[in-house]
Structure formats: structure tokens, C-alpha cells
Structure 1
Amino acid sequence: MKAFELGNYFEDFKVGEVINHNTSKTIFESDNNLFSLLTMNHHPVHTNLEYVKNHQHKKILVVGTLVFSLAVGITVPDISGKAIANLEYEKVKHLAPVFINDTIYAKTEVLDKWLTKSNTTRGIVYVETIAFNQKEEPVLSFRRKVLISKK
């Protein structure tokens, strides 16, 4: 049996490849409440059932940065498990609302990659991740550059 190996090396990434991540997460009310408390986001749209009755969606919205954090986490086993560092996040877009009990999935496309100029034992992988819900509706997208070791 092969032991579980976290992440991929620079050479393992192929430009144009789309990775469908195996991990997923259902967002429970407790997740949203704890994240709201930890991040000091006490907006009633995330925590107050009476308030949201008069809001556009009529139900509690999950904190957008929780969805972002989950999407990043879902990608770790495939994208950044062997990372030296996440260098940059860009173009974070909230594409649709996320509600309590939605399940988040993600897929990532490898947009580009290149060796670093200062140290050729590592390279930068540039990817775009799209998170989507159980209805296969895209809910979030972002791009990032990850510094990853060569084999």
C-alpha cells in the first residue's frame, strides 16, 4: 500500500490541466457562527434569522470569506500540499450566495507555471479555482500563485 502523499511537485503540474478536487464540505450553522465570531463579522445577515426575513434571500448567508477559506482548504491535497508559500491571491469573485447546508466542491485549472529566477529548485504555479455548490452552480472563483519545490 502506498502511503498518503500530500500535494504535488512543480513538475507534476501541466498547464491546461483541470483538477477536480475529491474533498468537499457541507457548511453547517455551527461553522458559519464560529467563523463569524472568530473573524468579528457580526453582520446580522450571517447570524440573525429575524433580520434576514426582510433581506433579499430570506435566509442566513454564509460568510463569504468562510467560503473562500474552505475552497482554498479543499485544494490543499492537490495544489499547495508541497508548497513553500502561497505568494498571491487575486481576482477573488463571489459569484452566487452560499447558504447554511450548502456543500462546497472545487476544481482548479493550471493556467501557467515557471521556474523562479533566483532558485531553480523551485517554481511558481499559477492556478484558478472555482468553487461550486451541490447544484453545480459556481459560487466563488479566485486565482493564486504558489511557490512549489521541484522533485
Structure 2
Amino acid sequence: MNQSVLGLYFEDFIVGEEIKHSLSKTIFESDNNFFSLLTMNHHPVHTNVDYAVKHQHGKILVVGTLVFSLAVGITVPDISGKAIANLEYEDVKHLNPVFINDTIYVRTKILDKREAKSKSDRGIIYVESIAYNQNGLDVLSFKRKVLVKKKKS
């Protein structure tokens, strides 16, 4: 049996390629409740059915930072499994609402990569990830720079 591989090395990333991540996650009511409590986001649109049904979406809205956290986590086995550090997140956009029982999938495009200036055993990849739901509707996008190990010579 072969050992599973966590992440890619700097050399494995090809600018312009897109990765469809194999992980996915259905967001349950308990996920949203725990995240709301943990992050102290007690807005009733996330935690109060009576309030939510009387407002814009008519039902509980999943906390946006939970969707972001899940999207990042889904990308770890491919994008940052060999990371030394996440350097930057940018341009986070909530594109459409996410509701209880939606399933989140993610695809990532490799935008750029460059050798690190300080050390020769690493490089920086620049990617854009897009989370989408079970209906193929994009719900969140973000870009990030990740410092990734190179293969040993």
C-alpha cells in the first residue's frame, strides 16, 4: 500500500492549471451553531429561525467566515499540505448566500508562482479558490499566497 501524500511541492504547481479538490462538506445546523458560538457571531440571521424567516432570505444564513474556513480547509490536501506558511489572503468575496444543508465544493486556479528570494528551498504560489454549492453556484472566492517547500535536490 502506498502512503497518502499531503500537498504538492512548489515544482508540482503549473501556472494556469485548475485543481478540482476532492473533499467536500455539507454544512449542518450544528456546524453553523457551533461556529457562531465559537466566534461570538450571535447575529440572529445565523441562529434564530423566527428572525431569519422574516428577513431577506427567509431562512437561516450560514456564517460567511465558516464558508471561508471550510473552503480553505478543503484546499489543504492539494494547495497547502506542504506549506511552510500561508502568507496572505486577499480579495475575499461572498458571491451568493449559503444555507443549512448546502454542500460546499472548491476549485483552485494556479495564478502565478515564483522562487523565494530569501531561501532556495522554497517558493511562493499565488492561487484563486472558488467555493460552489451542490447546484454549481459560486458562493465564495478568494486569492492567497502560500510559501511552499521545494523537492529536495
Shorter-chain TM-score: what band? over 0.9
Structure-2 separation of matches of 1:25 and 1:35: 15
Partner in structure 2 of residue 62 of structure 1: 62
Partner in structure 2 of residue 104 of structure 1: 104
Structure 1 residue ranges (4+ consecutive) displaced by more than 6 angstroms after TM superposition: none
Contact 2:53 2:60 in 1 (8 A): no
Partner in structure 2 of residue 143 of structure 1: 143
SS at match of 2:2: coil
Please tell me whether residue 37 in structure 1 is matched to residue 10 in structure 2. no
Structure-2 separation of matches of 1:16 and 1:28: 34
Partner in structure 2 of residue 86 of structure 1: 86
- Aligned counterparts, 1:94-133, within 5 A: 94-133=94-133
**Deviation sequence 1:37-78 (CA, Å, 0-9, x none):** 000000000000100121011000000000000000000000
**Deviation sequence 1:6-45 (CA, Å, 0-9, x none):** 0000000000010000000000000000000000000000
Query: 1:2: Cα distance to partner?
Result: 1.3
Where does the alignment leave 5 or more consecutive residues of structure 2 unmatched? none
Please tell me whether residue 72 in structure 1 is matched to residue 51 in structure 2. no
Percent of counterpart pairs with the same letter? 74
Alignment-mate amino acid for residue 60 of structure 2:
I
SS at match of 2:126: strand
TM-score relative to the length of structure 2: 0.98
Structure-1 separation of matches of 2:64 and 2:120: 37
SS at match of 1:79: helix
Structure-1 separation of matches of 2:98 and 2:62: 5
Where does the alignment leave 5 or more consecutive residues of structure 1 unmatched? none
Query: 1:130: Cα distance to partner?
Result: 0.1
TM-score relative to the length of structure 1: 0.99
Q: Which has the higher helix share?
A: 2
Partner in structure 1 of residue 27 of structure 2: 27
SS at match of 2:84: strand
Give me the CA root mean square deviation.
0.4
SS at match of 2:41: coil
